Amino acid sequence: MRGRRSLTVLMSGLVATALGVTLAATASAAVRPAQDPVPIGPNQTFSGYINNSPPGNVVIKVVCAIGASTGNPASHQPVEVKPVPAATTQDTGFTGSKGNKITATLSYGPAIVVLAGFTSYYVPKNIPTNITVPCSGSGTVVFTPSPHTKTAKAASLPVTFANISG
């Protein structure tokens, strides 16, 4: 009897260990892997991202008071630049022969606001929440490489403003 009980306890322990390893592997597979920063350098093609959205689907969430036409961007909305394969679309830029920095600026109507500056790819920075933007409508975020050279090209990303306050 004693041998059978020991075997049952041993088997239970092995099953629990296997289940724990399986659950741990499943949980870690669901986590988005972190990408190390990559310095921005000359002659690189890049795209800008807002809220991890691909170009063409970008929404900036805005907190607006009832009846207001302007408000502030909601918190935790990342802006980021990533290297991409060579392309010639308006949402793809090129650092040019000397580029080592990219500046993201938001324009809507007559306003132009700097959102962030980047010296590395894969380093998200949140949209400042202390700027004033429209509660609805559209704008453009331009990702401009510097220093500017004849071969440098900015990437333009159309955005839509969405009031999340109701």
- Regarding whether 137 and 67 lie in a shared domain, the answer is yes
One domain, residues 104 and 25: no
pTM of the model: 0.78
Domain span at 65? 38-163
Average pLDDT for residues 25-31, to the nearest whole number? Answer: 44
Question: Per DSSP, what are the bridge partners of residue 38?
Answer: 121
Same domain, 110 and 143: yes
Q: Does one domain contain both 101 and 118?
A: yes
% of residues, the chain, pLDDT over 90: 69
Q: Work out the average pLDDT over 26-43.
A: 72
Contacts 24+ apart (CB under 8 A), 15-24: none
pLDDT number for residue 32: 54
Q: Residues 42, 27: one domain?
A: no
- Residues 25, 75, single domain; the answer is no
pLDDT of residue 31 exceeding 80:
no
38-90: per-residue pLDDT in tens?
Answer: 999 999 999 999 999 877 789 999 999 999 999 999 999 999 999 998 766 77
Whether residues 152 and 104 fall in one domain: yes
Mean pLDDT estimate for the chain: 84
Both 130 and 83 in a single domain? yes
- The reply to whether omega before 147 is within 30° of 0 (cis) is yes
100/62 same-domain check = yes
Q: In this structure, are residues 149 and 98 in contact, taking their beta carbons and an 8 Å threshold?
A: yes
C-alpha 69/C-alpha 24 separation (Å) is 48
Q: Grade residue 18 by pLDDT with cuts at 50, 70 and 90.
A: very low
* pLDDT for 123 beyond 70: yes
Q: Verify that 115 and 91 share a domain, yes or no.
A: yes
Q: Are residues 63 and 127 in the same domain?
A: yes
Strands of 136-146's sheet, edge to edge? 111-118, 101-108, 136-146, 155-163, 59-63, 70-73, 133-134
**Total count of domains within the chain:** 2
23 and 81 co-located in one domain: no
Residues 85-97, mean pLDDT to the nearest whole number: 85
